[in-house]
Amino acid sequence: MASGISAAGWNLRTYLLLARMWIRVSMTYRASFVTLTVGQFFITGLDFIGIAILFSNVDALAGFSFSEVAFLYGGSALCLGLADLVLGNIEKLGTRIRMGTFDAMLVRPVSVFVQMCADEFALRRLGRIAQAAGVFVWSVVALDIDWTASRVAMVPYLVGTGTVIFLALFTIGAAVQFWTAESSELSNAFTYGGSTLAQFPLSIYPREAVKALTFVVPLGFVNWYPSLYILDRPDPFGFPAVLQFAGAIAAALLSLLAAVVWRRGTRHYQSTGS
């Protein structure tokens, strides 16, 4: 086990090493870095402006107020932003495979997963994170939440498990490209598309869709279930309250699946060469 731990430590160190290198590269063009970061802030903020416009016409969306929807939006966008920062460029796997540059990663003494995650690490994604965090904090201030200790603890739990769920989804989406070696459209549909779905109260969707978002692509655990607990809302579908705490289980299972798919993907690549 000790070797497993040291391997994990070594992988983390390598990740930080590569990420730092990419940060330094991006800092050589400081003006462009600032522009891109600010740009990310505003472009991703457009989503939220859309929601705000919606609420200038209605008072509630499927029973949820503007500040509550802002809370849901902020939570989901924050988790997506963090996951995107950590391994956003893993989706370029297909391109690397097609260009043959993936082979160069395979001859380095470092896990290819770590190399793919850190590839072209982009600090400009902090723009999206700042925007999401801003909305999240604003909603917390605007809402009148009864902050018990367990509700406070639920906030980092939400961010942690939600981020891990997105990390796993990104990984699965990328690993699929080991077989298709094609564009990242399919994976984006699940990650970015999924996060858009989860920005709204799931009560606007049909019951069957919510079941799918719970048990198939468990995006409901990113922000919906923990938010129900924090906002002290009964589940509109009457699903058991235990789901509100089950985010860690969903995150763990999805991570396991991601690890298996990634591993099988690399094996597949090594046995097909394409």
**Least distance (Å) from other proteins to the CB of residue 183?**
18
Q: How far apart are CA 274 and CA 272, in angstroms?
A: 5
Q: What size, in residues, is the chain?
A: 274
Coil, helix or strand at residue 64: strand
Q: How far apart are CA 117 and CA 174, in angstroms?
A: 10
**Least distance (Å) from other proteins to the CB of residue 167?**
22
DSSP state, 144?
A: -
Coil, helix or strand at residue 61: strand
23, 25, 34, 153: residue in contact with other proteins (rule CB under 8 A): 25
**Least distance (Å) from other proteins to the CB of residue 99?**
8
Quick one: how far is CA 123 from the chain centroid? 16
Candidate ranges 13-21, 58-66, 159-167, 194-202; the one touching other proteins (CB under 8 A): 13-21
Instruction: Between 21 and 189, name the residue whose CB sits nearer to other proteins.
Output: 21
**Least distance (Å) from other proteins to the CB of residue 172?**
23
Give the residue ranges of DSSP H helices in the chain: 2-27, 30-55, 66-87, 93-99, 102-106, 112-118, 126-142, 149-175, 177-180, 185-198, 207-215, 224-230, 247-272
**Least distance (Å) from other proteins to the CB of residue 263?**
13
Instruction: Between 112 and 209, name the residue whose CB sits nearer to other proteins.
Output: 112
Q: How far apart are CA 58 and CA 72, in angstroms?
A: 17
5 binds other proteins (CB under 8 A): no
- Contact predicate 264/257, CB 8 Å: no
Instruction: Between 101 and 150, name the residue whose CB sits nearer to other proteins.
Output: 101
Q: Which of residues 74-113 bind other proteins (CB under 8 A)?
A: 99-101, 103-104, 106-111
Residue found by looking up tokens 């891990």 in the block: 164
30 binds other proteins (CB under 8 A): no
Residue whose C-alpha is closest to residue 171's, from 245, 243, 264? 264
24 binds other proteins (CB under 8 A): yes
Residue whose C-alpha is closest to residue 44's, from 129, 119, 128, 145? 128
12 binds other proteins (CB under 8 A): no
Instruction: Between 206 and 273, name the residue whose CB sits nearer to other proteins.
Output: 273
Q: How far apart are CA 217 and CA 238, in angstroms?
A: 20
17 binds other proteins (CB under 8 A): yes
Instruction: Between 56 and 271, name the residue whose CB sits nearer to other proteins.
Output: 271
3 binds other proteins (CB under 8 A): no
153 binds other proteins (CB under 8 A): no
Number of residues binding to other proteins, judged by CB under 8 A = 22
Summarize as ranges the residues that interact with other proteins (CB under 8 A): 14, 17-18, 21, 24-25, 99-101, 103-104, 106-111, 267, 270-273
